[in-house]
Structure 1
């Protein structure tokens, strides 16, 4: 009996030891850390729900259907993982099973093969500030949780917190700034990094109004928001339909987080979005500010007299300006303000 137990223990440790051997073959500490986390999460997700320290050979038997279900689970996760992130999670499992097979474990690494998800640097289409503001205004009229949904949208596009971080926010995460002119909201975001963003007194007051709603009294968890992922998804679909936002724009809730990408300097946007790399910010910024209307290929074909603006009435000219893209309007406002300042100083 003792001998049998020893064999089982050795058998169990062998799987764990080999997993660690596999992880340690990577030179980068960052890669080793990511692979270990991804592998641990996978085996905890499986029905066996085991830590890798306790795995035996029977536990590592998987079917292709298991990997497909895991990929689907990640796609539907409330953390709103990018496709490239999901591909990386799956790649760690695939690489491990190739290692298992080479080392003569009774597994078939082909069972872990699934189609990679498309590279989705644009997985959430661009949304502009005026559209985000309109969403917050429209949803306020929703008969169920309108105040909460409106404040949730405003928090999304002003703080750029992820959906999962917003849903996890508690009232204690908001503190009055010492100077008293705004509040500071702190959350733990992607990669377990703390992220603090200021919000206006007006927005904080909108959050407080949620507490006044009769339904809110049933909650005692100190959380600010109680919107399920399904509710949020349904809300976005209804708003896109109402506003006539075309499907090909691929606007999602995550698009609200990226509204801020087009504002400030690149470094300011990086800090606001809590990106580790400025290259990531550059990608989102380019999508947020992309405007083909002034492309060279179009300008080469234009043969319109510059004096055409003089033929418009004041109201027509104003309407023409307001019909431009948000970035163009913002720039024109700034220049108009500078012109008025110069006029008053002269």
Structure 2
């Protein structure tokens, strides 16, 4: 493979034309001169690199390695690309369409340079329906129920259960979860640290309880296992479809595996007193606006604190008896009960010190 890549690097015909294509895009933009190169690299190159990393995996997304043969893209290549992007649960349809548009633009340009032979199938590439609605979010109660139902799966039920629980607990993206190795885990000061690489080669560091790690080892680890979760994208997608049906979750909610990441982030947000920075850290986001979109898609349609203030008694919980308070708590969503139990445990730990 290394020798082949060295040969390809010596043949820069395609890459030279790709750079010309990006220069052409720069010249079309109305941005100031100093922003053009930055704009092209951020907006176009990553999309095209992602496209070729999927349809030509031997190149690993490095455009320098592309040959004339590599860029003879077919309709099937586009269909495979779109399907893999959809299965990833990370990209909404609007974003996938942008990736397809970027790849088509480059191939159209290379066709005009007589490098790409055929683009007649372009009209057959179906544009995905777009919606402003992003992937939905599950409550913690729903997510935990989904994990228990996963045990009833015909194949790999225990693996699927642990995958769901681990996703809620760490908020790690599915792609990074499937790449996790046991060597990414280490015990330190009574907890277990997980260090790995996520989307965009961005490093992450997570912490889980030692008991949870021990349970993962007992369930998942075998003598010849290097990776933690022995499951693929297709298996996860099938699992989600079956579990949503069992739980009568409407398609309108757009629940996918990625929704579990939102579940974990939303719980962290509330656990830390609606601290958006805590959610940002849990999600390993660089941009706070991305985090706001994760937290902001929950239904917050109730009246605000000012609107309720006139008739709202902030000491009402002190004025009811113990049985009434327990009844109210029992009727609350499961994630709120979990939060209350965690605060009680925290209080008991402080008392015992």
Q: Which residue of 1 aligns with 2:332?
A: 324
Does residue 20 of the first structure (1) align with residue 14 of the second (2)?
no
Q: Which residue of 1 aligns with 2:156?
A: 145
Does residue 136 of the first structure (1) align with residue 147 of the second (2)?
yes
In 1, the alpha carbon distance for the partners of 2:17 and 2:208 equals: 49
Q: Which of 195, 202, 212 is the equivalent residue of 2:204?
A: 195
In terms of Rg, which structure is larger? 1
What secondary structure sits across from 2:227 in the alignment?
coil
1:135, distance to aligned residue in structure 2 (A): 2.6
Q: Which of 167, 188, 192 is the equivalent residue of 1:156?
A: 167
Contact 2:141 2:334 in 1 (8 A): yes
In 1, the alpha carbon distance for the partners of 2:236 and 2:15 equals: 40
Show structure 1 runs of 5+ residues with no match.
1-8, 304-308
Contact 1:62 1:111 in 2 (8 A): no
Q: Which of 184, 190, 193 is the equivalent residue of 1:184?
A: 193
TM-score by length of structure 2 reads 0.70
Contact 1:169 1:223 in 2 (8 A): yes
CA 1:16–1:157 in 2, change beyond 3 Å: closer, same or farther? same
Does residue 29 of the first structure (1) align with residue 47 of the second (2)?
no
Aligned residues: 313
Map residues 1-346 of structure 1 onto 2, 5 A cutoff.
14-24=13-23, 25-26=25-26, 27-29=36-38, 31-32=40-41, 35-43=44-52, 46=55, 55-56=67-68, 60=71, 62=73, 66-76=77-87, 78=88, 80-100=90-110, 111=122, 114-119=126-131, 122-123=134-135, 125-140=136-151, 144-177=155-188, 179=189, 181-211=190-220, 216=222, 220-262=224-266, 263=269, 264=272, 265-288=275-298, 290-292=299-301, 294-295=302-303, 318-325=326-333
CA 1:155–1:120 in 2, change beyond 3 Å: closer, same or farther? farther
Show structure 2 runs of 5+ residues with no match.
1-7, 27-35, 312-316
In 1, the alpha carbon distance for the partners of 2:67 and 2:195 equals: 38
Q: Which residue of 2 aligns with 1:5?
A: none
1:230-283 alpha-carbon deviations (Å, 9 max, x no partner): 332333333333333333222221111111322231111111101121001001
1:116, distance to aligned residue in structure 2 (A): 4.4
CA 1:176–1:33 in 2, change beyond 3 Å: closer, same or farther? same
Greater CA deviation, 187-196 or 248-257?
248-257
TM-score by length of structure 1 reads 0.71
1:334, distance to aligned residue in structure 2 (A): 9.1
In 2, the alpha carbon distance for the partners of 1:47 and 1:72 equals: 15
